[in-house]
Amino acid sequence: MSYEAKMMEMKKLLKKKASKTDEKPKTQKRETPPPPHYEKRWLAAGLTKDENEYGVVYKRTVVYEPEYRHGDYELSGLLDTVERWREAEEMHPLAPDFSQPLVFFDTETTGLKGAGTLIFLMGFIEYTEEAFTLTQYVLAGPDQEAAFLYATDLWKTPMSIVMYNGKSFDMPQVQTRWTMNRNVLPELLKHTEIDLLHGSKRIWKNEMDTFKLTAVEEEQLGFIREGDIPGHMAPIIYQDAVKNGRAELLMKVLLHNEWDILSLVTLYIRSTDLLLQGDGLSTANAKTNIGKWYTDLKSFNRSKDVLMDVIAEYGTEEPMAHFHIGFLLKKEGMHLKAIASFATAAAGLNGREKVIALEELAKLFEHKVKEPERALYYTKEAIRALQDDHDITERFKMRMGNELRHREIRLKRKLFPGEAQ
């Protein structure tokens, strides 16, 4: 056979192989698992059944009128809250994405971590058609997980999702469970995540001993739970409901989750009131923390406005406000005003902040005001404060101590040239 003939035969062979590989594989029909044996008992307890192409999921829906009150706040306050964010045009971790629906979200899981941990309850509250609607999805069992995840529409529409510790816990858990079902489910979308635990820690730092949601509810929202189940009991109750069909206590878990999500709505209202309005019910500490938060976000004008309001109202009674505004004044080149602020802070504070305020005074007098004698005085005061305060960490003492001693030596050389150091 000639070379040309061999090439023609090879082309025919390649065509045949290609046509076989081009054939689309036949899709096998996915068999959905049957409903669980305890379905009637769950339905009798107040759940409803929802079916999709992956199986069944059970859910509960509650509709609240805008005037519904949870603690000290009406849910209708959320409408004003969203409008304030819109008017503020503020780039902030708590600001929603106005192109997305705003949803409040919480989960209950069978454990805290690990691939074997299941989410068994997901709850959402959204404002729809002049009312607030809570929808809770309950996992019927491990074999119905794909149906449970699919029902949430987290694959369907990007949302601004408000959570409490959700960035560290809830959403990573959702991502894990979605990954376990990735061959079945549509892709999980990227959502805007707003975490109120982070916000609460920024606003009420130094004011609250714990940031558990129940503590925030009582101290900041005026809501006290009565008849609530302990959170650690929720997985045990769910496992019993799946094993034995008992749904009475499972409904208590749903109530626990409902309160969690209602508190997210009112906490979002409360936090926004403080951030954008300077709520009169706030403390000097919270207002100062908010001013510092704006500084960290590089929103310097708003930070300065907040801190100046605190100083105007509380004067030297809130030295931390003077401490933070000192850095803003220094940044603006208002060195004498910065000196006055740091002096007030140093006189009223203890610990790290006192030492830092004294160091800032030394820097300003050395480099800006050109008074090395005063700079040396404040350097020695900072060293003394560093040595006398037993609550300061050794790491901070070592780092700051080295810097202050180098400053002291340099200033002495300026003031006393030729003398042995």
Convert the pLDDT of each residue in 227-285 to its tens digit.
999 989 999 999 999 999 999 999 999 999 999 999 999 999 999 999 998 766 789 99
Residue 102 belongs to what H/E stretch? Answer: strand 102-109
- Tokens, residue 63: 């509709």
Which runs of consecutive H residues, i.e. helices, occur in 273-299?
284-296
Alpha-carbon dihedral sign for residues 71, 74, 78, 80: negative
- Do 403 and 356 contact (CB within 8 A), yes or no? no
Fold match flag (39-277 vs 284-415): no
Beta bridge partners of 73: 70
265: CB partners within 8 A, 6+ apart: 70, 73, 75, 78, 104, 125, 132, 162
Residue identified by tokens 């305020």 is 357
**Dihedral angle of Cα 251, 252, 253, 257, to the nearest 10 degrees:** 100
Burial 30-68 (b: 16+ CB within 10 A, else e): eebbebbebbebbeebebeebeeebbbbbbbeeebeeeb
Task: Delimit the domains of the chain by residue range.
Answer: 39-277, 284-415
Give the model's pLDDT for residue 280: 64
Q: Which of 343, 353, 418 is nearest to 378 (CA)?
A: 343
Give the model's pLDDT for residue 112: 76
N- to C-terminal Cα separation, the chain: 100
Cα separations in angstroms, 73 against 130, 158, 160, 200: 17, 28, 22, 17
- Do 408 and 379 contact (CB within 8 A), yes or no? yes
The residue ranges of the chain whose pLDDT is under 70 are: 1-30, 114-115, 279-280, 419-421
- The CATH code of the domain at 39-277 is 3.30.420.10
Give the model's pLDDT for residue 115: 66
Give the tens place of pLDDT for each residue, 299-325. 999 999 999 999 999 999 999 999 999
Q: CATH: 3.40.50.280, 1.10.490.10, 3.30.470.30, 1.25.40.10. Which one for 284-415?
A: 1.25.40.10
- Tokens, residue 401: 């101590």
Give the model's pLDDT for residue 3: 41
